[in-house]
């Protein structure tokens, strides 16, 4: 790391006074300082000062143009906790970069609350959808949240109340680590406190008796999805997710996504998982967007396209689920060709036409079949009986 010329230095609310002698020297001798206006205003220096600009591109381009010089990026707290360091490491060689963290908002707020960080969901809504919270809201869950501005606590309180967590305890820390540090407390129901833009929220989730409780395993209740009947039912969905076997950071194509139930549960299986829902019906795409936000995966990518031609140019997937359009000639083959070595293909159908296509595919490329037959209890007059659902034929194939 002695070759590093790009130093990313975390600064707390106490500014340069909170830095050690090494990092203060790096700031004082830098040829270029890059950061937000708030951080740049802290430093009295003859160095060239560059603010990020829209989308960070201006700052990144300036750093690249001065590669090899002494460049210091001023960041907030711990630059690898949802910070700028993660982005910069995608643009510059690791050996050129040295990261100098200070105590950040998560560590400070956890210390104030007396919480062990491994037991807490650490999240941010700074530049990210608030609905991401829906993935982690659960009875007794503890959440630390980096706000986007002073309105965030009210928005969080409204979201908690909407799903039956109005009794949740909220603590808002303003300007932690500085002379103006302040702490406000209350419950989600009736939260109206005005807070500073620079704040961090600690949440202890308290569930009412009728609060929504989302399981961590696959197979969410069908009632949780807005749909028009084009829904992979809960039991079949649980089997399908088990067959797809999502791994951390993998990408799924959900072809003929319907209301998006498969891609949503794929993304819920791990925070780093991604999915692309391909759906040509306007109303269903709207349902996918609604369901994704309500169930905590608002970053689900939704593509208006008809398969197979609409699959061209999409990011290479690790797995593909085909839930609609299987009877279209060539669809399964197109999906198979898009998969890398080791990729998985899963397809479900209840129609004879699609079964013929699946059998033809298996004859040429191999695969395993499973028949999924589910019966559900229904009323028969004053009594009840098990009524069978349409049996589903499932194809699984792994590319060698």
What's the CATH number for 6-102? 3.40.1010.10
What is the pLDDT at residue 233?
A: 96
Per DSSP, the residues of 165-214 read -TT-EEEEEESTTSTT-EEEEEESTT------SSEEEEEE----TT----
Distance from C-alpha of 98 to C-alpha of 332, rounded to nearest angstrom: 47
Angle between helices 261-268 and 234-244 (to 10 degrees): 50
Q: Give the count of alpha carbons within 13 A of 328, CB side only.
A: 17
* Beta-strand pair 344-349/392-398: antiparallel
**What is the CATH superfamily name and number for domain 222-398?**
Vaccinia Virus protein VP39 (3.40.50.150)
* Tens digit of each residue's pLDDT, the chain (400 residues): 568 999 999 999 888 888 999 999 999 999 999 999 989 998 988 899 999 987 899 999 999 999 999 999 999 999 999 999 999 999 999 999 999 999 999 999 999 999 999 999 999 999 899 999 999 999 999 999 999 999 999 999 999 999 999 999 999 999 998 889 999 999 999 999 999 999 999 999 999 999 999 998 999 999 999 999 889 999 999 999 999 999 999 999 999 999 999 999 999 999 999 999 999 999 999 999 999 999 999 999 999 999 999 999 999 999 999 998 999 999 999 999 999 999 999 999 999 999 999 999 999 999 999 999 999 999 999 999 999 999 999 999 999 8
pTM of structure: 0.91
Residues 391 and 372 sit within 8 Å (Cβ to Cβ): yes
**CATH assignment of 106-204, given 3.40.1160.10, 1.10.8.50, 3.30.950.10, 3.40.50.2000?**
3.30.950.10
**End-to-end Cα distance, the chain:** 40
Residue entry with tokens 């194809």: 395
Tell me the backbone φ, ψ of residue 121, rounded to 5 degrees.
-85, 115
Can you list the positions of beta strands (E) in 293-380? 301-303, 319-322, 344-349, 368-372, 375-380
Neighbouring CB atoms inside 10 A of 168's CB total 26
Neighbouring CB atoms inside 10 A of 231's CB total 20
What is the pLDDT at residue 1?
A: 53
Strand order in the sheet with 368-372: 301-303, 274-278, 251-255, 319-322, 344-349, 392-398, 368-372
218 burial type by CB count under 10 A (0-12 exposed, 13-18 middle, 19+ buried): buried
Phi-psi region of 355 (alpha: psi -120 to 50; beta: other; left: phi over 0): alpha
What is the pLDDT at residue 72?
A: 97
What is the pLDDT at residue 3?
A: 85
What is the pLDDT at residue 15?
A: 87
Q: Is the bond preceding residue 308 a cis peptide, omega within 30 degrees?
A: yes
Residues 257 and 278 sit within 8 Å (Cβ to Cβ): yes
H helix and E strand count, the chain? 11, 19
Residues 10 and 39 sit within 8 Å (Cβ to Cβ): no
Distance from C-alpha of 296 to C-alpha of 130, rounded to nearest angstrom: 9
- What does DSSP assign to residue 41? T
The residue ranges of every structural domain in the chain are 6-102, 106-204, 222-398
Residues 203 and 169 sit within 8 Å (Cβ to Cβ): yes
């Amino acid at each position: 790391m002695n070759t590093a010329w790009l130093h990313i230095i975390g600064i707390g609310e106490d500014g340069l006074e909170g830095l050690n002698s090494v990092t203060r020297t790096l700031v004082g001798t830098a040829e270029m300082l890059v950061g937000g206006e708030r951080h740049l205003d802290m430093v009295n220096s003859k160095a060239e000062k560059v603010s990020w600009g829209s989308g960070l591109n201006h700052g990144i381009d300036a750093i690249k143009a001065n590669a090899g010089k002494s460049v210091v990026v001023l960041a907030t707290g711990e630059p690898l906790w949802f910070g700028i360091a993660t982005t910069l490491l995608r643009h510059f060689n690791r050996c050129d970069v040295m990261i100098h963290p200070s105590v950040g908002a998560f560590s400070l707020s956890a210390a104030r609350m007396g919480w062990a960080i491994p037991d807490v969901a650490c999240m941010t809504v700074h530049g990210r959808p608030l609905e991401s919270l829906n993935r982690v809201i659960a009875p007794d869950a503890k959440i630390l949240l980096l706000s986007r501005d002073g309105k965030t606590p009210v928005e969080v309180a409204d979201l908690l109340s909407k799903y039956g967590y109005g009794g949740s305890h909220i603590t808002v820390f303003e300007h932690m680590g500085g002379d103006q540090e302040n702490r406000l407390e209350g419950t989600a129901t009736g939260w109206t406190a005005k807070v500073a833009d620079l704040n961090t929220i600690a949440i202890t989730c308290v569930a009412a008796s009728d609060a929504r409780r989302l399981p961590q395993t696959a197979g969410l209740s069908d009632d949780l999805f807005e749909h028009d009947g084009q829904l992979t039912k809960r039991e079949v969905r649980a089997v399908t997710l088990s067959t797809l076997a999502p791994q951390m950071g993998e990408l799924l194509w959900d072809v003929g996504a319907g209301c998006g139930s498969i891609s949503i549960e794929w993304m819920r299986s791990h925070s780093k998982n991604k999915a692309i829902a391909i759906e040509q019906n306007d109303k269903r795409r709207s349902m996918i967007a609604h369901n994704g936000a309500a169930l905590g995966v608002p970053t689900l990518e939704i593509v208006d396209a008809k398969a197979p031609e609409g699959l061209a140019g999409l990011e290479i997937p690790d797995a593909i689920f085909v839930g609609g359009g299987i009877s279209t000639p060539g669809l399964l083959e197109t999906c198979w060709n898009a998969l890398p070595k080791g990729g998985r293909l899963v397809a479900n159908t209840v129609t004879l036409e699609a079964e013929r296509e699946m059998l033809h595919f298996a004859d040429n490329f191999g695969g395993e079949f499973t028949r999924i037959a589910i019966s559900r209890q229904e009323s028969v007059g004053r009594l009840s009986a098990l009524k069978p659902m349409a049996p589903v034929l499932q194809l699984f194939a792994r590319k060698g």
